[in-house]
Every structure is written in C-alpha cells, then in structure tokens.
Amino acid sequence: MKDVLQGLLARPTTKAVGDAAEDRALAHLRRAGLLLVARNYRTPGRGGGEIDLVMRDRDTLVFVEVRRRSRGDHGGAAASVSPLKQRRIVFAARHFLLRRAGAPPPCRFDVVSVEADGVQWLRAAFDAGR
C-alpha cells in the first residue's frame, strides 16, 4: 500500500503536465521569433473560453491552442481541437480584442501539438468563421 501511495504522489498532476507542454510550446514559438503577449487568457464567467498563449508574429496577433498527447494515435493532439473548442477559443479571442484600444490587428489561430516525439506547429489551423 505504501508503494502505491508513493507512486501516486510521485506522478505529476494534470495541471503540471499541461503547464510543461505550454512551456515547451512557448519555447518553440519564441525560437521562431514570436513574442509572448499573454498566457492563459480567460474570459470572465462560466462557459467562456481560454487561450493558452497569445503571441505576436510581426504584425499578426496569434491565438495559440496547445494540445498534449502521450500517444499519436486517433489523429494526435492537433486533431483533438473540436469545433466546440474552436468556438470557445474564437469567443475568447474576440473578448481579448475588445479590451484592446484601436483597430484590431490581423489575427490567426494556431495549434501547437506537444507529443512524445516532439512539437508540431500548425499555423492557421482554423479560422474564426462567420
């Protein structure tokens, strides 16, 4: 029993694993020249959305969803960004933009997939729709 408890306590939490994936994604994007604007931006209230990373790529504001998977089957991490998740990210992006002064800059939605075999960056992975 003691060994089982020690094993459970030694495992990182889901949040810690997610934070580590975001750290890897952020480092990858910074190496590519993007600048961090905000991290873990959340809209107020329930049912809103969250954006893992808001980055600047020259004149473009980039809203980044970071996905982590321990295995690549079922399409991998990037394939797990469902239409519902996309709508929530777009909602949060609109909220973020409304809080900024002036005209909104060009924007795009990227997905960074962090998997056991590395990091994959999908630029313009989805759009805001209409």
Q: Which domains does the chain have, with CATH numbers?
A: 2-126 (3.40.1350.10)
pLDDT at residue number 130:
56
* pTM of this structure: 0.85
pLDDT at residue number 94:
93
- Give counts: helices (H), strands (E), the chain: 3, 5
**Residue from 50, 90, 42 nearest 67 by CA:** 50
pLDDT at residue number 13:
83
- Rounded-to-integer distance, Cα 86 and Cα 76, Å: 16
pLDDT at residue number 3:
64
pLDDT tens track, the chain, 130 positions: 666 555 556 677 887 877 888 999 999 999 999 999 999 999 987 777 899 999 999 999 999 999 987 665 566 666 778 999 999 999 999 999 999 888 889 999 999 999 888 899 999 999 887 5
pLDDT at residue number 126:
92
Site of tokens 């797990």? 80
What one-character DSSP code corresponds to residue 40? Answer: E
Q: Which amino acid is at 113?
A: S
**Residue from 122, 15, 21 nearest 70 by CA:** 21
